[in-house]
Structure 1
């Protein structure tokens, strides 16, 4: 074997063992990343491919118990987002927002699907109304069927009917779709955003 080939094999071996021993994220299934045997992370907008990506992350990392949110500003596809949240709840993952992390809009809905939900230090939780491109949620009467997608989702992931309705109407009244309202610690407690 030539010295050049031996050097390449040695370099590959060193890189392999360095990656195995490091604590950095080693695999990515955007917007999810596998952190370790029991943890995956999300760090981007939830989109139409996110349910497929989540299922693949769980397939690759079947011992996953925790989804960590880094910077998750929302969702581009509400239908996929609620399917993703139901799946997260079904596989009984816990959710956590890391220190200095940010969740907003659909990412808050996804976070709520966790069995145990925790926030790190200096985290931000943002909510707002949704828009269909022509009308905002607040343009519809409270009895309108357009509100049921989210209210039904909240009850499916374990919120009581009253809390589901209260939180949903709070979010759509808090800020218009083009803006974000950051929840206060009191509101986070009131709407049971965290479990401990």
Structure 2
């Protein structure tokens, strides 16, 4: 009221003063509302954001000299070298990541129908090895061991996954007993132990008859884990494991 009375008593000056007061209030309104709003009603909004992590596998770059008797490789996924739209060459070891790498390879090259098992020394993860084997079978892929090819230890189970299994006359297959994480081997378990069923069931799943599966399983376990038993293509044929 005091300010309003002063404005009324000043005539023209009151209009001028009112103008400046209005401008001042407008500037104050434009400059101060953010701080004023905070002071009048202050609150904090929190938001929880879920972070998802994915492992992305990229094909390893190949050196210009990377080649084999099958020709130049165009891409490599773990132990697999893609040498043609329908064929890969396998060398090396299966580990925990190999099934995921194999899946990525099939997504990129869906026409693969044949795996040439050139130099395969088994696995460091038997569960991953059997998972990979079943993936090979579901994809309808054949396995072949070429001339001078070597398939050893758990890679023999991988060979059996092929819908068609073939081998060159001088191919070799190396078998021995399995050993678990406690250092116990197959023969340390009684014949009735369910641990043996995992392998026997797998052989039959791959089309091997029950009697043949038991005979071949017994042969592999007749050799300690630290030793090796070399089988030829003809030996494998006697067990009807090559076509």
Q: TM-score range by the shorter chain?
A: 0.7 to 0.9
Map of 1:35 onto structure 2: 83
Map of 1:164 onto structure 2: 213
Map of 1:152 onto structure 2: 201
Unaligned runs of 5+ in 1: 1-21
* Offset at residue 140 of structure 1 (A): 1.1
Change (3 A) 1:158 1:99: same
Change (3 A) 1:123 1:158: same
2: CA distance, partners of 1:41 / 1:55: 16
Q: Helix, strand or coil for the counterpart of 1:159?
A: coil
Question: CA offsets per residue over residues 72-93 of structure 1, 9 Å max, x none?
Answer: 0111111111111111111111
Count of equivalent residues: 174
2: CA distance, partners of 1:185 / 1:93: 20
Residue 88 in 1 paired to residue 125 in 2?
A: no
Where do residues 1-196 of structure 1 align in structure 2 (5 Å cutoff)? 23-132=71-180, 133-173=182-222, 175-195=223-243
Greater Rg, structure 1 or structure 2?
A: 2
The structure, 1 or 2, with the larger RCO (C-alpha pairs under 8 Å, 6+ apart) is: 1
1: CA distance, partners of 2:152 / 2:239: 15
> Which of structure 1's runs of 4+ aligned residues deviate more than 2 A?
184-187
Q: Helix, strand or coil for the counterpart of 1:44?
A: strand
Unaligned runs of 5+ in 2: 1-69
Tell me, yes or no, if the aligned pair for 2:168 and 2:233 is still in contact at 8 Å: no
Two-structure CA RMSD over aligned residues (Å)? 1.7
2: CA distance, partners of 1:43 / 1:185: 19
Question: CA offsets per residue over residues 155-196 of structure 1, 9 Å max, x none?
Answer: 1122122222221111111x211121101454212212211x
